[in-house]
């Protein structure tokens, strides 16, 4: 990959690995849809994907996953001998694809030699930030000698699926240059409509409609014979429209009217749509940009991270969130994790709080699913899903990894024992309230979420009469290599925070709206447990630092084998074997997957002295494998907090460059987990703003503690606090807030 300038990247790779990574790296999106960075002629083997936020399906007994919509922008060129011109063709001369992440515009330039004619394709596309259902493409072909080509422009129903196929009941229509493909999902019969319209400019063309099926899946296309003349470009202006659910039942007659306008003025309409799209991005960057002076590489990687966050923010519909792999494909089942609350929300909380409000509305909407999960396990309240989809049901399977030696699935306990997710949601709600002052979210359902999460912990934790304290047993903390441990420090502190937050807002409504409080305490079944709440808050066990100042990650952690990561790697028999679980190489050692105690020290940094934080980050940094993209940013934050920005900087760099380099973990066991990394993208922003700039808000007051890396000159960022916008400039000597 190469860097063109501060807003443009490019790559010329054509290997299978390049195609896979570039699909993520060159992703475009608008919060409603995501489209992978593949070329127009790509087939299912190249893993093109059009992902619609919030749309899921289950095929047979396999796990549910996002639906890969029929590919709406297939454009394929053939020689007269029907040889496909692709990046895998023997007559390929050159290929490069680019992403302008200032405006979310993908482009490619590819050339071939056909019968002594040099043919070049240049295209660009964007998912409109102004029109959430529309994908626009401009496809240009030019040659240096006369040549005849065949061109197919179509909609391809044969797409790549991890656990598919997901689509049935295909129907198609064609009117003039408008192609329409309709289908439904298998599980819930949700309708999907994909429309492709085109205007052709230049060249001598003969058009005909063609439709055929591949493996019972339709490929609907318009076949065009093109007579190309030297240096006279042939251009296709294409608009694809994608609708699902109720939105897909629009008028076919209206589509025909729209197509008439597009067929007549497609080039003009394309330019207008691009202008509107760019205007929205200008508005988003006005508040969402962070300026770093003195380090162009850091500036680029941070902006690239923020581009990916802005591309997947669900602004078009209330009650949606952000999947752990964004809209880059079907890995991690397209599920929403705790990533959203602790890693993604902070950026939007400062730059566009309405997005975080939407995240909270998603958790309110899925509260019934969390209550059902708690009930299924025999608990009260809300046990939020580890992998949450559209209803809040837990999409996580019992067997998440495969033993590379036997090929057998391995039982994991992620969904059963990662109980901290409910507390993470409460933490995010509290942060939203603190930053915005928008207490209306409490009466819209957030207060019920808090009460139900507290109820869940009432029924989960144990009382030890011998120790006269409440303990949290049999859990998994953020470090997933060690399962079913007792008193994970991160989890215990988060549970305590949830109980305290419930008590705080009970007291708040006791002063402001007693009737509302009474109704909610009754409807949630919380009222009889108020005395217990006070007892729990005062007696829950919160692990303290030992004589060396180290907080034990969980009971018995210090008794595990202590060795280096290098030594542990020598024990691996297969590079893809899973490190955790009952028999993983790390499970009986002190080597951990990701920040655990370190994450605790960031979230509750005011509760620990700098000496305690410094000793813990030193101890755990050498024992952390960083097998999760969530990990590095937490180390960066804590190193900054203890005044060591130079030690923090490599962790920031690792976080911010993860989707630029593509050097992230691609497999867990034999399961492919590739895709973009929104949590790391958010972590890169936190590393700069919370870490190097020392930004914090307490009781509505902004605090800044500058600790920039030595080679940085200045950082400028925006934050909304209590509804007021502030521009903050941090340099070596101090800061300004205006």
Q: pLDDT at position 670, please?
A: 57
**732: three-class secondary structure by DSSP:** coil
User: Which pLDDT value is given to residue 28?
Assistant: 98
Fold of the domain built from segment(s) 291-461+482-538+629-642+650-737: Glycosyltransferase (1.50.10)
Farthest CA pair distance, the chain: 90
The domains of the chain are located at 2-253, 291-461+482-538+629-642+650-737
Residue 341 pLDDT > 90: yes
Closest CA to 424 of 522, 326, 498, 502: 498
Give pLDDT, residue 340.
97
**What are 459-497's pLDDT values in tens digits?**
999 999 999 999 999 999 999 999 999 999 999 999 999
Residues designated as active site: 480
Angle between helices 631-641 and 610-621 (to 10 degrees): 140
Helix 447-460 / helix 367-376 crossing angle, nearest 10 deg: 10
For 2-253, CATH number out of 2.70.98.40, 3.20.20.70, 3.40.190.10, 2.40.50.140 equals 2.70.98.40
**Cα 602 to Cα 330: distance, rounded to the nearest angstrom:** 31
* The model's pTM: 0.96
Q: How far apart are the first and last CA of the chain?
A: 39
Which whole-number Å values give the CA distances from 495 to 329, 416, 445, 555, 652, in the listed order? 33, 16, 20, 17, 29
| Cα 198 to Cα 219: distance, rounded to the nearest angstrom | 17
Cβ 143 vs Cβ 113: under 8 Å: no
70: which DSSP letter?
P
Q: Dump pLDDT digits (tens) for 365-400.
A: 999 999 999 999 999 999 999 999 999 999 998 988
pLDDT digits (tens, 9 = 90+) for 630-665: 999 999 999 999 999 999 999 999 999 999 988 766
Write out pLDDT tens, residues 689-738.
Answer: 999 999 999 999 999 999 999 999 999 999 999 999 999 999 988 999 99
The secondary structure of the chain in percent helix, strand, coil, rounded to multiples of 5, reads 35, 25, 35
* The pLDDT of residue 215 is above 60: no
User: In whole angstroms, what is the distance from residue 46 CA to residue 40 CA?
Assistant: 11
Signed CA dihedral, 86, 87, 93, 98: sign only: positive
Scored b (16 or more CB within 10 A) or e, 122-154 reads: bbbbbbbbbbbbbbbbbbbbbbeeebebbbbbb
Answer whether residue 22 shows pLDDT above 80. Answer: yes
Q: Backbone dihedral region of 637: left (phi > 0), alpha (psi from -120 to 50 degrees) or beta? A: alpha
């Amino acid at each position: 990959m190469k860097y063109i300038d501060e807003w443009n990247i490019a790559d010329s790779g054509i290997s299978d690995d390049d195609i896979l990574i570039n699909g993520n790296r060159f992703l475009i999106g608008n919060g409603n849809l995501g489209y992978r960075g593949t070329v127009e002629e790509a087939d299912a083997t190249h893993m093109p994907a059009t992902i619609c936020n919030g749309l899921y399906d289950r095929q047979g007994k396999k796990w549910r996953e996002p639906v890969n919509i029929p590919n709406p922008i297939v454009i394929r060129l053939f020689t007269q001998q029907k040889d496909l011109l692709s990046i895998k063709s023997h007559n390929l001369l050159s290929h490069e694809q680019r992403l302008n992440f200032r405006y979310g515009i993908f482009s490619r330039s590819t050339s071939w030699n056909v019968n002594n004619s040099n043919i070049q394709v240049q295209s660009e596309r964007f998912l409109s930030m102004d029109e959430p259902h529309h994908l626009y493409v401009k496809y240009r072909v030019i040659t240096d000698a006369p040549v005849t080509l065949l061109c197919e422009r179509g909609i391809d129903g044969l797409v790549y699926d991890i656990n598919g196929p997901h689509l049935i009941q295909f129907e198609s229509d064609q009117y003039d240059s408008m192609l329409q493909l309709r289908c439904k999902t298998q599980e819930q019969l949700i309708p999907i409509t994909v429309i492709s319209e085109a205007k052709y400019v230049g060249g001598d063309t003969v058009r005909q409609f063609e439709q055929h099926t591949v493996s019972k899946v339709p490929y609907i296309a318009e076949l065009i014979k093109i007579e190309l003349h030297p240096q006279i470009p042939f251009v296709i202006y294409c608009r694809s429209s994608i609708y699902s659910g109720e939105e897909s039942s629009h008028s076919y007659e209206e589509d025909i009217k729209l197509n008439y306008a597009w067929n007549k003025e497609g080039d003009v309409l394309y330019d207008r749509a691009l202008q509107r799209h760019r205007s929205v991005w200008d508005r988003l960057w006005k508040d969402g940009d962070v300026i770093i002076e003195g380090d162009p590489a850091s500036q680029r990687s941070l902006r690239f991270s923020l581009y990916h966050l802005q591309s997947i923010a669900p602004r078009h519909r209330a009650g949606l969130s952000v999947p752990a792999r964004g809209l880059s494909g079907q890995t991690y089942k397209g599920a929403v994790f705790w990533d959203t609350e602790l890693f993604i929300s902070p950026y939007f909380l400062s730059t566009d709080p309405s997005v975080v409000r939407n995240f909270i509305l998603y958790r309110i909407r899925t509260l019934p699913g969390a209550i059902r999960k708690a009930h299924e396990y025999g608990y009260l309240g809300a046990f939020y899903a580890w992998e949450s989809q559209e209803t809040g049901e837990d999409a996580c399977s019992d067997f998440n990894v495969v033993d590379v030696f036997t090929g057998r699935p391995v039982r994991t306990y992620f969904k059963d024992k990662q109980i901290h997710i409910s507390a993470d949601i409460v933490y995010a709600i509290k942060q939203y309230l603190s930053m915005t002052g928008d207490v209306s979210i409490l009466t819209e359902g957030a207060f019920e979420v808090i009460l139900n999460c507290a109820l869940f912990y009432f029924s989960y934790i144990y009382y030890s009469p011998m120790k006269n304290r409440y303990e949290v047993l049999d859990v998994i903390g953020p470090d997933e290599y060690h399962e079913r441990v007792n008193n994970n420090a991160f989890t215990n502190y988060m549970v305590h925070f949830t109980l305290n937050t419930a008590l705080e807002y009970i007291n708040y409504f006791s002063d402001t709206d007693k009737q509302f409080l009474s109704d909610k305490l009754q409807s949630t079944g919380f009222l009889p447990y108020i005395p217990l709440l006070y007892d729990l808050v005062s007696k829950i066990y919160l692990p303290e630092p030992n004589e060396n100042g180290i907080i034990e990650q969980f009971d018995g952690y210090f008794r595990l084998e202590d060795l280096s990561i290098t030594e542990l790697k020598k024990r691996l028999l297969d590079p893809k074997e899973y490190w955790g679980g009952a028999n993983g190489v790390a499970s009986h050692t002190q080597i951990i997957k990701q920040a655990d105690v370190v994450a605790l020290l960031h979230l509750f940094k005011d509760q620990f002295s700098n000496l305690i934080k410094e000793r813990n980050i030193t101890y755990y940094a050498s024992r952390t494998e960083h097998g999760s993209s969530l990990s590095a940013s937490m180390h960066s934050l804590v190193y900054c907090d203890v005044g060591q920005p130079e030690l923090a900087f490599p962790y920031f760099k690792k976080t911010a460059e993860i989707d630029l380099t593509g050097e992230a973990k691609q497999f867990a066991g034999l399961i492919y987990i590739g895709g973009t990394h929104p949590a790391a993208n958010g972590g890169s922003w936190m590393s700069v703003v919370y870490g190097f700039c020392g930004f914090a808000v307490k009781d509505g007051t902004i605090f800044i503690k500058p600790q920039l890396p030595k080679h940085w000159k200045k950082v400028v960022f925006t934050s909304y606090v209590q509804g007021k916008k502030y521009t903050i400039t941090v340099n070596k000597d101090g800061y300004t807030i205006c």
